[in-house]
């Protein structure tokens, strides 16, 4: 029999610090619980134990604190964000039927020791899981320690058997106590022997045994006199440290290994807890089902079953299905986007007619028909008709379906619902919007599984059947999510902006952006030469060659050899990140060269080399626009990211010369002018800002005049630059410290700028105060078009988390409104270009910028359309302004 026993506090601490902060919908932190459960699942999978339990510390003092007042005195208290998770984790373990042990006056380590001892007495194998090395002293023939580390969400484990321990340490596991008695333990504030570090302590234990042996023979030991004197002076401390470091195995609590046999969790209780915490992915990992569904009949509830699945084989059956689909209010559809050889269709409210196997089906909304290439007669024509305008369809990730249709030359239309987009609008900060995740959340149904007659859930291996489950789920989601959209007043944004944008983006992805491959290759070669020359100069200044990409070697050069002022050294060495390099700029010429080297290598690897790899047929790069990633509603670009092409620096600007128009074409580029500041002026109703924008004055000059108290004509370029930084930073909740770094002044001066700004711009100050208070009351902020972002961070007990929530509350209505306006402009530009029968095509959107490729003869018309549609995408109390330029390359058009 094998028992797996977990050091609860140790593992939950590592999970907490190893995973970014996560929150449940009510703002409760959940990262430690989430990480613990993932570690638990991995461990049980690796070990397959017969029995399982967890031990915890209690906050009360232990007998060790009574022995030594300084015990753990330097250890910081548990962070609030972790403390609130501890009782919830214990609630989770109880629902999982995993026994847990804790005892006032005793540490979890002592309970582990007692458990290990009792297991040995029963002849059971005991596996202790911990992130601390204290428990290594318990390793024996029957007790193994599984030491765990968690870094950046990645978990590593190392097994310590008696043999493995001896191989690493050179002495028996029980001597771990002697090692700590000599070297001490800073985390527990165990003093050890003053002046004796780990290396010396290791050597002493390896050569002479435990502290009793060492002190009994101290005068005759073959050691340095300095070490002998330290040992003599530290004897009492060593003996006390030995007592403190020893794990007791006599903790007074009842334990029997068989009482901890692995049991099934309480499905309903655990499911509800996971649902409350937002652990939707874990419900699947742990095999949980909605209450009443898991047991196949408990609580008078039927098991969740998938739809009735009907294979369509003959041309007659296919024709009957298409007739039913046309007569239906709408159909939900899923198809194999990679091969387009399978499609599942679920008719909603269809009117069935005689003459086929569809004569007497079950209720239409629970029947899904599968069509397969090579099996279904007339498949290609059926697919074409199904994807056309005549059949109204609900799908999932509709933009991607549209793009794949266009790639294959299939015209597609009739899409009237996208479950992924709807779920995104409803909950824009969710980590993913897969069908399984959102169907489980909103409908209590998980596609990809099927319930048999016995109620047992099994995975669907067949692609067609899996598609059928998903098509059924899309149908359920449309009904559920439509209600949510209506309830949250998001229908206009969804049906008038998000859904119509799908086709616009699909066309843009299909068209792509032409790249001058030869010029890009030459640019990469130029970068390679610049990198080599920069390397050479760095080596000359360093006086030796080294790996510039190695933080350890670079830190040694900068801080040990060149003696530059160093940040605090960590266990892994010196930090050499960009913030550190920025702080060193001007202190040695090598620093600027290192920054140049990093920029050049990034340009070459990410852009010059990276872009060459993704040039497609016809010399064009086809990016993918992501619609459900950012919480503000902004689009993002991937594979490759064309929204991140450098523009400000000379070498980065050169890249835009590689993006060109086709033969006989030009690029027309249109940019919104200060759109976010204009939105701020509108939302805040600030009279000074409104006046400046209405009169066409330069807003940064006006701000400089207000902040520095000088007439507009006396504003200098430095004043304008600093005012610009304040303008763009103030609504993001910029701190005086950050503003000081941005504009190169002392924090005190930066604070004076902010205070002066808020005094002059009273409307902005009122907006900043009001929006945060509103967000605290409502729990969310919204754009002018109703897009919401929920802010559970505002309820966090942690100051930094709350401050982040406040900054988001300030910024999201502005940035999100700008994103909404840009989407409306894209839709209107695309419609207008088509309506006027132009060849011009919208090919890229980058933040506040749109790019159209068109014949030279259409450049003026395309520029006019861009300006008109962008400037009229929304009616604000100040004018929206778009500026256009044209040229043969992106660089020239910019």
Beta-carbon contacts of residue 29 (< 8 Å; ≥ 6 apart): 21, 22, 23, 81, 82, 84, 85, 796
SS3 content of the chain, % helix, strand, coil (to 5): 55, 15, 30
* Selection from 470, 482, 490, 277 nearest residue 370 by Cα: 470
Asked if residue 460 has pLDDT above 60, the reply is no
Q: Quick one: how far is CA 763 from the chain centroid?
A: 35
Q: Quick one: how far is CA 557 from the chain centroid?
A: 35
Give SS3 for 261: strand
| pLDDT of amino acid 357 | 38
- Sheet containing 882-887: give its strands across: 841-846, 849-855, 665-672, 882-887
| pLDDT of amino acid 360 | 39
DSSP-assigned beta bridge partners for residue 148: 157
Contact (Cβ atoms closer than 8 angstroms) between residue 676 and residue 634: no
Contact (Cβ atoms closer than 8 angstroms) between residue 7 and residue 109: yes
The bridge status of strand 125-130 relative to strand 308-312 is: unpaired
Q: Which domains does the chain have, with CATH numbers?
A: 2-170+247-260 (3.40.50.1010), 304-488 (3.30.420.10), 623-676+781-894 (3.30.70.370), 687-760 (no CATH)
Asked if residue 631 has pLDDT above 80, the reply is yes
Share of the chain above pLDDT 70, in %: 92
Q: Which residues of 7-31 are buried (b: 16+ CB within 10 A; e: fewer)?
A: bbbbbbbbbbebbebbbbeebbbbb
* Selection from 387, 309, 374 nearest residue 341 by Cα: 374
Q: What does the pLDDT look like over 318-365, one tens digit per residue?
A: 999 999 999 888 999 999 888 889 999 999 854 333 333 344 333 446
The bridge status of strand 788-790 relative to strand 841-846 is: unpaired
| pLDDT of amino acid 570 | 60
Give SS3 for 139: coil
With cut-offs at 50, 70 and 90, classify the pLDDT of residue 122: confident
With cut-offs at 50, 70 and 90, classify the pLDDT of residue 490: very high
**How far is 143 from 125, CA to CA, in rounded Å?**
6
**How far is 753 from 618, CA to CA, in rounded Å?**
53
**What are the structure tokens assigned to 240, written together?**
């006390």
| pLDDT of amino acid 578 | 85
Angstrom distances, CA of residue 555 to CA of 81, 95, 252, 443, 567: 34, 49, 52, 54, 10
**What are the structure tokens assigned to 759, written together?**
């005094």
Asked if residue 646 has pLDDT above 80, the reply is no
| pLDDT of amino acid 62 | 78
Q: Which residue has the higher pLDDT, 560 or 650?
A: 560
**How far is 170 from 206, CA to CA, in rounded Å?**
6
For residues 381-401, average pLDDT: 95
Contact (Cβ atoms closer than 8 angstroms) between residue 708 and residue 715: yes
DSSP-assigned beta bridge partners for residue 844: 851
DSSP assignments along 410-450, one per residue? -----EEEEHHHHHHHHSTT-S---HHHHHHHHHS--TTEE
**What are the structure tokens assigned to 452, written together?**
């048999």
Contacts 24+ apart (CB under 8 A), 680-684: 680/731, 680/764, 680/767, 680/814, 681/877, 681/878, 682/784, 682/876, 682/877, 682/878, 683/767, 683/784, 683/813, 683/814, 683/817, 684/761, 684/763, 684/764, 684/766, 684/767
**How far is 74 from 133, CA to CA, in rounded Å?**
19
Q: What does the pLDDT look like over 505-520, one tens digit per residue?
A: 999 999 999 999 999 9
| pLDDT of amino acid 451 | 41
**How far is 854 from 884, CA to CA, in rounded Å?**
14
* Selection from 692, 331, 656, 321 nearest residue 519 by Cα: 656
Share of the chain above pLDDT 90, in %: 56
**How far is 234 from 681, CA to CA, in rounded Å?**
70
**How far is 701 from 722, CA to CA, in rounded Å?**
10
Beta-carbon contacts of residue 275 (< 8 Å; ≥ 6 apart): 283, 441
Neighbours of 639 (CB within 10 A): 12
The bridge status of strand 2-7 relative to strand 125-130 is: parallel
Burial class (CB in 10 A: 0-12, 13-18, 19+), 549: exposed
Helices 86-95, 267-277: crossing angle, 10 deg rounding: 150
**How far is 502 from 418, CA to CA, in rounded Å?**
10
Q: What does the pLDDT look like over 829-860, one tens digit per residue?
A: 999 999 999 999 999 999 999 999 999 999 99
Asked if residue 874 has pLDDT above 90, the reply is yes
For residues 626-634, average pLDDT: 93
Give SS3 for 883: strand
Phi-psi region of 105 (alpha: psi -120 to 50; beta: other; left: phi over 0): left
DSSP assignments along 382-418, one per residue? HHHHHHSTTS-EEESSHHHHHHHHHHTT-----EEEE
Contact (Cβ atoms closer than 8 angstroms) between residue 811 and residue 733: yes
Angstrom distances, CA of residue 507 to CA of 173, 407, 413, 436, 504: 66, 10, 13, 28, 5
Tokens 């009574």 correspond to what residue? Answer: 66
Q: DSSP letter at 260? A: G
For residues 260-268, average pLDDT: 91
Q: DSSP letter at 559? A: I
Contact (Cβ atoms closer than 8 angstroms) between residue 47 and residue 127: yes
Angstrom distances, CA of residue 443 to CA of 377, 440, 677: 34, 6, 41
User: For the chain, how long is the longest CA-to-CA vector?
Assistant: 106
Burial class (CB in 10 A: 0-12, 13-18, 19+), 360: exposed
Q: Quick one: how far is CA 551 from the chain centroid?
A: 25
Asked if residue 708 has pLDDT above 60, the reply is yes
Give SS3 for 525: helix
**How far is 187 from 74, CA to CA, in rounded Å?**
7
Q: What does the pLDDT look like over 53-108, one tens digit per residue?
A: 999 988 777 777 777 776 766 666 778 788 889 999 999 999 999 999 998 888 89
Asked if residue 450 has pLDDT above 50, the reply is no
Asked if residue 371 has pLDDT above 90, the reply is yes
Least confident of 12-26, 606-620, 783-797: 12-26
């Amino acid at each position: 029999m094998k028992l797996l026993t977990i050091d609860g506090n140790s593992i939950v601490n590592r999970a907490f610090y190893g995973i970014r902060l996560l929150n449940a919908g009510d703002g409760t932190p959940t990262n430690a619980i989430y990480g613990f459960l993932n570690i638990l699942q991995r461990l049980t999978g690796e070990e397959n134990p017969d029995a399982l339990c967890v031990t915890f510390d209690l906050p009360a003092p232990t007998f060790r604190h009574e022995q030594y007042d300084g015990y753990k005195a330097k250890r910081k208290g548990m962070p609030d964000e972790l403390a609130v998770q501890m009782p919830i984790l214990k609630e989770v373990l109880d629902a999982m039927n995993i026994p847990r042990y804790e005892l006032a006056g005793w540490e979890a380590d002592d309970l582990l020791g007692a458990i290990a001892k009792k297991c040995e007495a029963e002849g059971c194998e005991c596996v202790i899981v911990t992130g601390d090395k204290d428990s290594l002293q318990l390793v024996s023939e029957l007790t193994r320690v599984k030491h765990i580390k968690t870094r950046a969400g990645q978990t590593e484990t190392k097994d310590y058997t008696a043999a493995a321990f001896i191989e690493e340490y050179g002495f028996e596991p029980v001597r771990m106590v002697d090692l700590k008695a000599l070297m001490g333990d800073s985390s527990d504030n165990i003093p050890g022997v003053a002046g004796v570090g780990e290396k010396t302590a290791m050597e002493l234990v390896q050569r002479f045994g435990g502290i009793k042996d060492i002190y009994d023979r101290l005068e005759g030991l073959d050691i340095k006199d300095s070490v002998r004197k330290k040992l003599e002076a530290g004897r009492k401390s060593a003996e006390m440290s030995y007592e403190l470091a020893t794990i007791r195995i006599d903790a007074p609590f009842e334990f029997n290994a068989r009482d901890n046999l692995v049991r099934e969790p309480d499905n309903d209780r655990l499911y509800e807890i996971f649902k409350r915490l937002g652990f939707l992915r874990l419900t699947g990992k742990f095999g949980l089902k909605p209450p009443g569904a898991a047991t196949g009949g408990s609580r008078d509830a039927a098991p969740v079953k998938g739809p009735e699945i009907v294979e369509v084989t003959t041309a007659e059956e296919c024709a009957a299905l298409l007739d039913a689909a046309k007569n239906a209010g709408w159909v939900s559809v899923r198809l194999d986007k990679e091969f387009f050889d399978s499609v599942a269709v679920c008719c909603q409210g269809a009117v069935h007619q005689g003459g086929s196997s569809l004569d007497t089906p079950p209720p239409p909304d629970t029947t899904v028909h599968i069509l397969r290439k090579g099996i279904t007669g007339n498949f290609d024509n059926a697919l074409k008709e199904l994807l056309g305008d005549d059949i109204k369809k609900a799908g999932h990730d509709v933009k991607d379906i549209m793009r794949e249709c266009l790639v294959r030359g299939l015209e597609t239309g009739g899409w009237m619902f996208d479950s992924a987009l709807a779920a995104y609008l409803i909950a824009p900060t969710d980590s993913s919007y897969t069908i399984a995740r959102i169907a489980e959340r909103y409908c209590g149904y998980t596609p990809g599984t099927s319930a048999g007659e016995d109620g047992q859930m099994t995975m669907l291996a067949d692609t067609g059947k899996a598609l059928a489950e998903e098509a059924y789920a899309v149908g359920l989601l449309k009904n559920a999510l439509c209600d949510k959209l209506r309830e949250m007043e998001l229908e206009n944004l969804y049906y008038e902006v998000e859904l119509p944008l799908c086709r616009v983006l699909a066309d843009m992805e299909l068209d792509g952006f032409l790249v001058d491959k030869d010029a890009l290759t030459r640019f990469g070669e130029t970068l390679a030469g610049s990198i080599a020359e920069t390397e050479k100069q760095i080596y000359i200044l360093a006086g030796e060659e080294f790996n510039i990409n190695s933080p350890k070697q670079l830190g040694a050069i900068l801080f040990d050899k060149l003696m530059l002022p160093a940040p605090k050294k960590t266990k892994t060495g010196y930090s050499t990140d960009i913030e550190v390099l920025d702080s060193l700029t001007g202190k040695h010429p090598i620093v600027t060269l290192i920054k140049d080297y990093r920029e050049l290598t990034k340009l070459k690897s990410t852009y010059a080399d990276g872009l060459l790899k993704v040039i497609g047929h016809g010399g064009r790069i086809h990016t993918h626009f992501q619609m459900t990633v950012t919480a503000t509603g902004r689009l993002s670009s991937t594979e490759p990211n064309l929204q991140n092409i450098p523009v400000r620096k000379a070498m980065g600007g050169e890249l835009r010369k590689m993006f060109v128009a086709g033969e006989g074409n030009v690029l027309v580029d249109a940019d919104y002018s200060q759109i976010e500041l204009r939105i701020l002026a509108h939302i805040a109703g600030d009279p000074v800002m409104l006046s400046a924008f209405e009169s066409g004055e330069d807003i940064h000059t006006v701000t400089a005049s207000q902040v520095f108290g000088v007439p507009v004509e006396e504003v200098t370029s430095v004043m304008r630059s600093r005012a610009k930084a304040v303008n763009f930073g103030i609504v993001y909740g910029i701190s005086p410290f950050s503003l000081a770094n941005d504009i190169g002044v002392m924090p005190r001066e930066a604070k004076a700028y902010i205070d002066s700004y808020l005094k002059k711009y009273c409307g902005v100050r009122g907006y900043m105060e009001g929006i945060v208070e509103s967000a605290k009351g409502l729990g969310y902020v919204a754009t002018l078009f109703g897009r919401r972002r929920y802010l559970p961070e505002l309820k966090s007990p942690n100051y930094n988390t709350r401050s982040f929530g406040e900054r988001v509350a300030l910024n999201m209505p502005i940035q999100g409104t700008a994103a909404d306006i840009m989407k409306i402009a894209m839709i209107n530009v695309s419609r207008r270009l088509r309506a006027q029968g132009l060849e011009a095509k919208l090919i890229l959107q980058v933040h506040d910028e749109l790019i159209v490729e068109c014949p030279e003869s259409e450049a003026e018309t395309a520029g006019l359309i861009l300006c008109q549609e962008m400037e009229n995408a929304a009616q604000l109390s100040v004018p929206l302004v778009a500026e256009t330029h044209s040229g043969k390359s992106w660089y020239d058009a910019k």
